Structure 1
């Protein structure tokens, strides 16, 4: 799946992840949509005593907001993302669209 084959809802996740990453000047950006259609976007966190991927922050936001699971995710990064937090929360089979730092989706996988 590439940029031009994403659903409109998943394309919105790309926009959110890209904007959040740019605003925070972070290495990664991510966005997720929960089972109720709510979206959460985050950038990676790199502090001396706290390191979280953008996807981990999104999952934490969804969990702390009372979400019951995830419908889809987008991760923009130059590295291979760790999907464990999303898998722990949402289970297997949730589509995850992977893109570069500029927001170009190169491939899709699942939790």
Structure 2
């Protein structure tokens, strides 16, 4: 079982991390999903995704964004963002980001884009 990590105070977002929040908000809105997420890999490429809830497949937005990055050849993540109505980061999403990066910040934002907190490790 995965535990939800504690959110630290919101980190100051630079332009690239702000872009991740924007991409995550867009993915969430397009799909009408519970969550949207975006990640940036070691080459600066970004991947955005929304929650998938099908009878035979369920993935959090962050799991799908990381899976997309890995499928495209990413070996490290620089940063991640998830937009959610929850006040915490889901454990499985946190775990999959840590599979590719031990220290990439994971920004958690509300649907309006307000950053609620950042998980640093």
Q: TM-score scaled to structure 1, two decimals?
A: 0.91
What CA distance in whole angstroms lies between the structure 2 residues aligned with 1:62 and 1:25? 22
* Offset, 1:2: 4.4
Q: Which consecutive unaligned segments of at least 5 residues does structure 1 have?
A: none
Q: Deviations over 1:59-104 (max 9, x none)?
A: 10011000111000001112332201111122x1110111112321
Correspondent of 2:115 among 102, 105, 109: 105
Aligned to 1:62: 69
Q: Which consecutive unaligned segments of at least 5 residues does structure 2 have?
A: 1-8
Structure 1 runs, 4 residues or longer, greater than 3 Å off:
none
Residue 103 (structure 2) pairs with residue 96 (structure 1)? no
* Offset, 1:110: 2.4
Aligned to 2:84: 77
- Answer 1 or 2: higher relative contact order, Cα 8 Å, separation at least 6: 2
* Offset, 1:27: 0.2
* Contact 1:27/1:101, CA 8 A, preserved across alignment: no
Q: TM-score scaled to structure 2, two decimals?
A: 0.84
Number of residue pairs matched?
109
